[in-house]
Amino acid sequence: MISSDIEKVLLTEEQIEQRCIELAQQIERDYEEEGTVPIIVGLLKGSIPFMAELIKRFTFPCEIDFMSVSSYDGTESIGDVRIEKDMDLSTKSRSVLVVEDIVDTGRTLAEVKKMFFNKGATDVKIVSLLDKPDRRVVDIEADYIGFTVPNEFVVGYGLDFNQKYRNLPFIGVLKPEIYE
């Protein structure tokens, strides 16, 4: 049982579901006011459960796509992002809603945002299930945040440790003996 590796639960399935309903309503209202329909792009793999929970609440016609990026430190400490798997849809002249699991240093999202504007997107917004503001090194904020979490390594609801624990239906912190 992978749940026995968890020291504490930070966010329950019910809390996450409830917050996804609120986020989806707020996002839908905002796009309605702007009069645009975004392409919704999930960053693999961590965004999958959150994206699924969010999009089923939208009532507008959703176009969804996925991409996989890996962040790595470039020669300078500003970081950079490598596209591992690209999208199928074009984002040229479109607004984009990027779905992310967690904003940590902010490097990934800063680069992804820049990349979408370079590809001709007219607007790029970010929704992240979690935010760890204490760890930020790049000045970027998500437009929509599910929960702010303390500076601890969290797993579950899409988030992994060595590719495991993504299927946990809650967000938790691992027992130290698991990663030490």
Contact range with ligand 5GP by CB under 6 A, out of 11-19, 28-36, 50-58, 106-114: 106-114
Residue 48 tokens, joined: 């999958």
Is 91 a binder of ligand 5GP (CB under 6 A)?
Answer: no
The sheet with strand 154-155 has its strands ordered as 6-11, 171-174, 154-155
- CA gap 94, 66 in Å, rounded: 15
Residue 108 engages ligand 5GP in binding (rule: CB under 6 A): yes
Binding test (CB under 6 A) with ligand 5GP, winner from 38, 42, 49, 106: 106
3-state SS assignment for residue 96: strand
Say how many CA atoms lie within 13 Å of 19 toward its Cβ: 18
What's the rounded Cα separation, in Å, for the pair 98 and 42? 6
Contact 10, 151 (CB under 8 A): no
Q: State the minimum distance, in angstroms, from the CB of residue 175 to ligand 5GP.
A: 15
> Is 104 assigned a catalytic role?
yes
Tell me, residue by residue from 51 to 90, as one string, x for binding to ligand 5GP by CB under 6 A and - for no binding.
--------------------x-------------------
C-beta closer to ligand 5GP: residue 53 or 100: 100
Confirm or reject binding of residue 104 to ligand 5GP (CB under 6 A).
yes
Catalytic residues: 104
